[in-house]
Amino acid sequence: MFKIEKNIPLPPRAGDGAPPKYPFLEMEVGDSFVIPADDPAFRTRQGGGRVHPAQNCFAYYAKRGLKFASRSQPDGSMRVWRTE
């Protein structure tokens, strides 16, 4: 049995008001930044490549007219460029 409670405020969603982790919106065309190789968000894809959640953001920003590209660096880090 569940107890019904009244007048309990809904807390904000996780991440609401939090600053973005990556500076996508602050970048101008030609700008870039590096995600360090030891960033815990890197995951290994089947086939050996590595992927980072920042790469998943590219499609989200593309809908807003911003385009990005990323390349793995020799030290294992990933550099992200704004291309449009």
| 75, 37 Cβ separation under 8 angstroms | yes
Task: Provide the pairing of β-strand 43-44 with 32-35.
Answer: unpaired
Please report whether residue 11 resides in a domain.
no
Segment 22-75, tens digit of pLDDT: 888 899 999 999 988 888 877 776 655 667 778 878 888 888 899 999 898 899
**Any domain includes 55:** yes
Domain membership of residue 1 (yes or no) is: no
User: Where is pLDDT greater, at 71 or 18?
Assistant: 71
> Would you say residue 14 has pLDDT above 70?
no
Structural domain includes residue 31: yes
If one counts the domains in the chain, the total is 1
pLDDT of residue 48: 59
70 in a structural domain:
yes
Angle at 59 between CA 30 and CA 53, to 5 degrees: 85
| Rounded average pLDDT over 6-24 | 77
Full residue range of the structural domain in which residue 60 is found: 27-82
> Does residue 21 belong to any structural domain of this protein?
no
The answer to whether 29 and 83 are in contact (CB under 8 A) is yes
Q: Which ranges constitute the DSSP H helices of 1-84?
A: 53-62
Assigned domain for 19 exists: no
61 within domain boundaries? yes
Q: How confident is residue 17, by pLDDT bands cut at 50, 70 and 90?
A: low
